[in-house]
Amino acid sequence: MQDKQISGIDLPLKALAWEDEQGKTWLTYNDTNWIAEKHGLSKESDPIIKTIADSVASITLLAATI
């Protein structure tokens, strides 16, 4: 958010857990790289974006094993 304040509209990251008509559970969220591109974040933000993406991937994997 310090790079481009307007990116705050997509922060904090949100996730939606939902079930489809067949009873399969899904976890949906916006990709952090897409958010960075959408707001034109600078290359200096890349390490932060990667950390957030890695964290989301870890949380998603953990949620899938519960």
17-64 pLDDT, tens digit each:
999 999 999 999 999 999 999 999 999 999 999 999 999 999 999 988
Range of the domain at 27: 12-65
| 4 in a structural domain | no
Q: How confident is the model at residue 2 (pLDDT cuts 50, 70, 90)?
A: confident
Task: Write down the pLDDT at residue 41.
Answer: 93
The count of structural domains within the chain is 1
| 46 in a structural domain | yes
- Report the distance separating Cα 52 and Cα 61, nearest Å: 14
| 3 in a structural domain | no
Q: Which residues of 7-18 are buried (b: 16+ CB within 10 A; e: fewer)?
A: beebeeeeeeee
| 7 in a structural domain | no
- At residue 56, φ and ψ (nearest 5 deg) are -65, -40
| 2 in a structural domain | no
